[in-house]
Amino acid sequence: MSIALLTFDVFGTILDWRRGLREALGSTAVSDADFDRIVDRQGELEREPFRPYAEIVSESLVNVLGVEAERADEIAAGAGNWPLFADSAEALRRLRAIAPCVATTNSDLVHGTQVRAQLGFALDGWICAEVVRAYKPDPLIWQAASRALGVPCGRDWWHVSAYADYDLATARSLGLTCVLVKRPHHRAGPADVVVSDLLELVPHVMEPS
């Protein structure tokens, strides 16, 4: 089976979301439990009437950690500058030689510019909540990617994420091949391919079963 398209979750899969938050907050300790509460609070806010992702990040930090609002706004605006996982850039370079690699992300356009600067190259698309005006797990994100890339949902479209709960569950319902990346804070669930990082994905994509 050839691969027509690879789509990627960004925060937590390409970017080290947890480390980024900890570094952005400086001396403020963010436990794993705090991080999970932040992720869950963002999920709750994303189910409300649409607002930009930066506003959702900011509010989650205020709600969960009591961060001062102005500081929370600064952190949220720069979320795309949070550090890449060490394997991300090289893996994406290799994967782009095999199939288009596109972000399908609960984020804003400015975060795409920040991520591109870190990678040193652009992905083949940045399908984000700000443009679609919906957040994953809403299938509108994947439907927008399908239209933009001209690729129908099917097994030759692989979706890659560290989050099987809100992300891979929808991709599976659409008939995509699902790849779970076992990042340190991943959320496990059913997947067709399981890898420890994105470099480990490369041989799977080169010789898909």
User: What is the amino acid identity at position 101?
Assistant: C
User: What is the amino acid identity at position 3?
Assistant: I
d(CA 20, CA 16): 6
Tell me what the mean pLDDT of segment 114-122 comes to: 96
- 148-161 pLDDT, tens digit each: 999 999 999 999 99
Q: Is 0.85 topped by the overall pTM?
A: yes
For the packed helices 69-77 and 53-65, what is the interaxial angle rounded to 10 degrees?
140
d(CA 202, CA 198): 7
Helix (H) or strand (E) holding 17: helix 17-24
Nearest residue to 126 (alpha-carbon basis) of 189, 166, 117: 117
Sign of CA dihedral 154, 159, 164, 168: negative
Nearest residue to 76 (alpha-carbon basis) of 84, 85, 67: 67
Q: Give the pLDDT of residue 28.
A: 61
d(CA 99, CA 157): 10
Average pLDDT of the chain is 95
Return the minimum-mean-pLDDT range out of 24-28, 76-80, 140-144: 24-28
CATH of 5-16+81-206, one of 3.90.10.10, 1.10.443.10, 1.20.140.10, 3.40.50.1000: 3.40.50.1000
d(CA 165, CA 19): 21
